[in-house]
Structure 1
């Protein structure tokens, strides 16, 4: 990647600034954030760059070059990301860029297949923005999520896998023995087999104020946004492993983390719970649900309700991090691909979907365990099943 250290000049109310920051976070590109409403020098720089106009985001790269209100496509080009495939037709197209897809891709390419991976955000997906993987086999001291994703990406490239980044698949159709995917830029690519490994997305609270405050005090990635709350107090919503692990990570920066759990106990693993109990910076409030988020340009407070007593209360954390579960990224699929009531893809024991030649694995699949190790395992299994399928087409 050609640029890894840059500065984003913007404001908390700016939707384009939020989008640009989200894109950079997904690509694991380090950036410095300057709020021009709080920084006179930053505002002056923006005005100089735009002939006296206050146009944001203004992004300054490490070589001194700038982009003004760039689209994601322009950012991708500047960062040197490949967003257009070299061929029109492949043996296998893997949709998604997490451990499942990358493992399947490198297995397939190692067998001599032409393989294309298409990822809408950053390679590594959720594993790439996880602070640390402590339970992945082969790493006794754990491994950082970003390093893990980078290693897996390099390994896939070593075997000749073609990787598209910042490119979203919008449709999938089948014709005879071939399958075709169309991307958001209008390009269509065909393959003899397709693997759907699009993973899942963090669920939202669905309370008043949430949509307007995402990226302006409401977050879903502690690794991406935790450093912005150095020395402050934040709230984490959820009671499972993700909520617990991200809360512990946040203590590196913040003065206090308050976990708001709906149940009367945490559902995280014993190891995570033990660490929370040993950490003075973390407080847990049980039987607590968030009923509203407040603020116009940025988060100013939250309303909570005790589910046991019915009592309501307002809190004023500097930021809120939401970890309440996952929704499969399967809404874009055609009706021919069977899904369960929650949207997870139904597969056979060979990981084939209801459409022959289209396979599914990882977090998007019904019955998956939502763990990085099993995701990689399913990727390997899918590759072997696809190899057998391709022998007959």
Structure 2
């Protein structure tokens, strides 16, 4: 069992920033990540809207590594482990992992969110064999192929533009008759000859024989169903918060996101949250970084007040 002042779950931009701030405050701090440092940021090819990187921005993996290095420079311990249980204990909060159990006097939840499944028939059957949720991860496998991208937000359009370097043809299938992505992203997509659009349609089934061959789509205006030939399906229809570990620890909203105050505090004293695990409208790296800084600052203040109260109690007992 290992003990820390601040225990941070999640190594995305929110978690790494929180770790940087807590470590810089000379608190014994650990950030625990189960997968890749940077989280969703690490799977983003290009980030153009993060301040300080003009002339084309910075790659997601590149920014992730810079954040990881800077957090480590302040003495924060970066741990790869899969956490399977989180609970309140006398010393604070314990996170039981496969390799060890970690206890923090304060806890910051920065576990982020995961891509939401489409819910179409055949989706699970073809996962990894034609169905993907990460163009940056799987894009090279679709060189010179015809693919569809399901969704109409920033992620869908951004990944469609990224896939133009590999795929022969790309069709964005969207349930609405207009995109929700940023205007600058829309303009780029509309100008790209490889990208076409199928408006007001939903994907009901993914079909194939060993590999994806088509998607069954339904026109939401006419109700008519038809098969649309494709060799790959990339799904970008939103995110689900990774809050299963803390659902008994803090209050969640109807969508499963952690309920927080403006300072990142939750319904339980000593527990804070930051990043995409919080119910925020703007799910961007810049926002997650700010939320991580706020949550860490609040955790630092919480521990200071806790130590002061304990010191006063000791003085009164003498």
TM-score (norm 1): 0.76
Question: Cα deviations across residues 214-254 of structure 1 (Å, max 9, x unaligned)?
Answer: 11100000000011111111100000110000000000111
- Distance between the aligned counterparts of 2:67 and 2:222, measured in 1? 49
1:192-271 equivalence runs, <5 A: 192-271=105-184
- Distance between the aligned counterparts of 2:288 and 2:165, measured in 1? 28
1:374 to 268, 287, 298: 287
Contact map agreement 1:173 1:334 (CA 8 A) in 2? no
- Distance between the aligned counterparts of 1:259 and 1:319, measured in 2? 12
Q: Which runs of 5+ in 2 are unaligned?
A: 307-318
Query: Equivalent residue for 1:389?
Result: 302
Moved more, 327-336 or 264-273: 327-336
1:294 aligns with 2:207: yes
Query: Equivalent residue for 1:156?
Result: 71
Query: Equivalent residue for 1:50?
Result: none
**What secondary structure, in the 3-state scheme, does the structure 2 residue paired with 1:212 have?**
coil
- Distance between the aligned counterparts of 1:144 and 1:354, measured in 2? 36
**What secondary structure, in the 3-state scheme, does the structure 2 residue paired with 1:201 have?**
strand
2:86 to 172, 195, 200: 172
Query: Equivalent residue for 2:10?
Result: 96
Question: Cα deviations across residues 271-325 of structure 1 (Å, max 9, x unaligned)?
Answer: 0110011100000110010010113532222111111111211122111100011
* Number of residue-to-residue matches in the alignment: 305
Contact map agreement 1:171 1:334 (CA 8 A) in 2? no
Alpha-carbon shift at residue 336 of structure 1 (Å): 3.5
Q: Which runs of 5+ in 1 are unaligned?
A: 1-86
Query: Equivalent residue for 1:146?
Result: 61
For the structure 1 residues 164 and 368, does the alpha-carbon distance in structure 2 shift closer, same or farther, using more than 3 Å as the test?
farther
Alpha-carbon shift at residue 175 of structure 1 (Å): 2.2
**What secondary structure, in the 3-state scheme, does the structure 1 residue paired with 2:244 have?**
coil
1:1-393 equivalence runs, <5 A: 88-141=2-55, 142-165=57-80, 167-183=81-97, 185=98, 187-367=100-280, 369-393=282-306
Question: Cα deviations across residues 110-139 of structure 1 (Å, max 9, x unaligned)?
Answer: 111111111111000000110111111111
Alpha-carbon shift at residue 186 of structure 1 (Å): 5.8
- Distance between the aligned counterparts of 1:198 and 1:336, measured in 2? 14
Contact map agreement 2:87 2:249 (CA 8 A) in 1? no
Moved more, 329-338 or 378-387: 329-338
Which gives a bigger RCO, structure 1 or 2 (Cα 8 Å, sep 6+)? Answer: 2
Contact map agreement 1:172 1:334 (CA 8 A) in 2? no
TM-score (norm 2): 0.93
Question: Cα deviations across residues 125-168 of structure 1 (Å, max 9, x unaligned)?
Answer: 00011011111111122111010101111111111221122x22
Query: Equivalent residue for 1:46?
Result: none
**What secondary structure, in the 3-state scheme, does the structure 2 residue paired with 1:189 have?**
strand
Question: Cα deviations across residues 337-384 of structure 1 (Å, max 9, x unaligned)?
Answer: 100000000012221111111110110012352110010011111111
